[in-house]
Structure 1
Amino acid sequence: MAELPATVPFVGPEAQERARGRPFRARIGANESVFGPSPRAIEAMRQAAADCWMYADPENHDLKAALAKHHGVGFENIVVGEGIDALLGYTVRMLIEPGDPVVTSLGAYPTFNFHVAGFGGKLVRVPYRGDHEDPEALLDAARREDAKLVYFANPDNPMGSWWGASEVQRLIDGLPPGTVLLLDEAYSDTAPADAIPPIDVSNPQVLRLRTFSKAYGLAGLRVGYAIGEVGLIRSFDKIRNHFGVNRMAQVAALAALEDQPYLEGVVRKIAEARERIAAIARSNGLKALPSATNFVAVDCGGDGAFARRVLEELIARDVFVRMPGVAPLDRCIRISAGTESDLAILAEALPEALRAARG
């Protein structure tokens, strides 16, 4: 235990509000969907509330069946878990022994790294290339290290960048024997159609991760799922928390999945918010990076120390945002898609924050 990192991946906005003694005016830092869940999901939760005296279905049967139909795969190709974070942890627990090499990108989603450290894996990090995760470098490291796992997010968090489906397929095709690719597709719902390769559940080397936390607007319920080959998916039943996805979460996710028109409307709102964030950035002399997610990375035009000052000044003005954790990605701040009101507050606060950061 003494060797584990003495920190957490993120300090939540609630913890920051308690420390500050006041709430944020704009909560646009955690890549939540401020547009909320489908009304059908809300109604499903309302109806299910009285039944919470019962344990949830440990098989997640109805949700799994609906997901299998939605993706055109078999029921046995789906496992449901308490968000992608839990599925990452289960996967590491299932496949990694102490000392096993695990490849990821330097600056990619940090929660995965915590799971690897917790189960004794050896993290091997490769740098980003041009604000993108680098598939070729990941493959080179996997071959060199004889890695058991490779983590790759498409679209990427924290930069919002993405690769086309053909590039992702080349990564899959190039995996060395014995290596499993964790393909994190948390932002697939907001990505261009040509960024997501077809699902092939016959390949035991690929595990694809999806979530209801982003465009579906159910972050607080913790529902995610993985799509993969039958044998790989079946292995989760040996280690997962069978009652981890609660009754309310199961019915809400099912109702949200069934309301695709609402999801499409949210995706349009996210695209509009990305354009508004980019316009705000440009009006302040900053560069917004292209994004296929529900957030925009904004290059503050300096180093990580300067971007940190901008972030702190925004927080001082009650605007919650975040930033990447390592150079050179940390020259940016990361702003989640917000409502018109949220982004009006950002537009007011950003020039003041920049002036204060520049001294």
Structure 2
Amino acid sequence: MPDSPPAAYTIQSLARAEVRSLAPYNAGLSNEAVRRRYGVERIARLGSNENPIGPAPGVIEAVTQAARECALYPDAECQTLRAALSERLDIAPERLVFGNGSEDLIAILARVFLDHGDEVVTMVPAFGLHTLYPQSMGARVIGVPITAAGAIDVDGLLGAITPRTRLVMFSSPSNPVGSALSRAEIERLLAGLPPHLLLVFDEAYFEYGQLADDYPDVLALLEASRQPWVLLRTFSKAYSLAGFRVGYGIVSDPVLADLVDRVRTPFNVSRPAQAAAVAALEDQEHLTRSLANVATERARLSAALAAAGLRVYPSLGNFLFLALEREADAVGEALLSHGVIVKTWREPGFTHCLRVTVGSPADNALFFEALMQALDAPVRGSLADASH
């Protein structure tokens, strides 16, 4: 018989040290879990930056058709979606890569480019997977704090780069804050980056950023540079396809796409998901309606929160980042008892902050009233009757 395992043996010891030390990703609670735990029926789901408008009507029809062939593997090359995006973006099809959400592509990039001793420069607070995936590969993550005004610190990012840096990765509009780089800031960043690293520019909230007149054409600016780069986008947010998980990347050179394809699973975007993305892309009127809801409700909710004395960071996303005078987890728990799901932030230095999705008028009103109760503040502002 084999020798007995040592007394100190645990299942955890089988895992790589980097994985054992990872903090779990804060994905939040499901509607069903909140209903069971708190006995509430009405749920305002404002923790995951989902689109309250829902998908375009053509998406449902396309998915229904695709489901009839669910016994067959999907197109590993996403050829129909690739052609549609290639035409829309005026990008050669071989410069597109696809993932099971853009998070899948972040994980693939970490596996392709990072090893023990490598460094990744990002911003703080950060989208959690910009940190967790590099750490899982043994890379050191260097976080550059946002400025006092909530802006991305370009000079800080450039100053954090060392000869060991392999990726500079951040989101703009930034998640969770909502700030975005200007044209001049992007040009300064690109001019200062050394050639030995890859820039991963996460533009998951690209469509919402375009609501601002001065939002830069990031793709054009990247195209004009000589830096190797990957521009990440997603169908999860503005196109309302979070449940189907379709993300894509535009790469500076087809060689990058080839490297990504060597590591990704061959059927990582399902047949219904590909069909849904193509249908969503075709209905630009529906997208416009979704963006209009965010433009109106973000301004109204931000103004009401500021009038109530709260600090609200300027945002170009479909969410707001709030600074409270107490730990956000306790406030988040109180909101859950009212059926309101938000995302409380847990990074050091920002545990007093929460991120709330800009939802429907009714959901925003429920959040505002529940937040005022949680903070023992009087309900004021114009959201009390926003659902009428």
Structure 2 counterpart SS, 1:42: helix
Q: Is contact 1:172-1:206 (8 Å) kept?
A: no
Corresponding residue of 1:272: 296
Q: Is contact 1:182-1:207 (8 Å) kept?
A: yes
**Structure 1 residue ranges (4+ consecutive) displaced by more than 6 angstroms after TM superposition:** none
Deviations 1:112-168 (A, max 9, x none): 2111111111212222212122121111111x3530101121100111111212211
> Which of 329, 332, 349 does residue 311 from structure 1 map onto?
332
Q: Is contact 2:219-2:231 (8 Å) kept?
A: no
Corresponding residue of 2:81: 63
For the pair shown, the structure with the greater C-alpha radius of gyration is 2
Corresponding residue of 1:226: 249
Q: Pairwise mapping of residues 37-56 of structure 1 onto structure 2 (< 5 A)?
A: 37-56=55-74
CA offset at residue 261 of structure 1?
1.5
User: Which consecutive residues of structure 1, in runs of 5 or more, have no partner in the other structure?
Assistant: none
Structure 2 counterpart SS, 1:248: helix
CA offset at residue 49 of structure 1?
1.6
Corresponding residue of 2:280: 256
Give the stretch that moved more between structures: 264-273 or 15-24. Answer: 15-24
CA offset at residue 18 of structure 1?
7.1
Corresponding residue of 1:81: 99
Structure 2 counterpart SS, 1:298: strand
Q: Is contact 2:47-2:343 (8 Å) kept?
A: yes
> Which of 232, 247, 250 does residue 209 from structure 1 map onto?
232
Q: Distance in 1 between matches of 2:35 and 2:17?
A: 28
CA offset at residue 340 of structure 1?
1.7
Q: Pairwise mapping of residues 11-22 of structure 1 onto structure 2 (< 5 A)?
A: 11-14=27-30, 16-17=33-34, 20=37, 22=39
Q: In structure 1, what residue type is equivalent to 2:336? A: I
Q: Is contact 1:164-1:196 (8 Å) kept?
A: no
CA offset at residue 267 of structure 1?
0.6
Deviations 1:89-108 (A, max 9, x none): 10111111221111112321
Q: In structure 1, what residue type is equivalent to 2:277? A: A
Corresponding residue of 1:138: 157
Corresponding residue of 1:10: 26
CA RMSD of aligned residues (A): 2.0
Aligned-residue identity in percent: 36
Q: Is contact 1:81-1:225 (8 Å) kept?
A: yes
Corresponding residue of 2:136: 118
1:346 aligns to 2:364 (yes or no): no
Q: Is contact 1:323-1:333 (8 Å) kept?
A: yes
> Which of 326, 343, 361 does residue 322 from structure 1 map onto?
343
Q: Is contact 2:119-2:167 (8 Å) kept?
A: yes
Q: Pairwise mapping of residues 54-203 of structure 1 onto structure 2 (< 5 A)?
A: 54-130=72-148, 131-142=150-161, 144-191=162-209, 192=212, 194-199=215-220, 200-201=222-223, 203=226
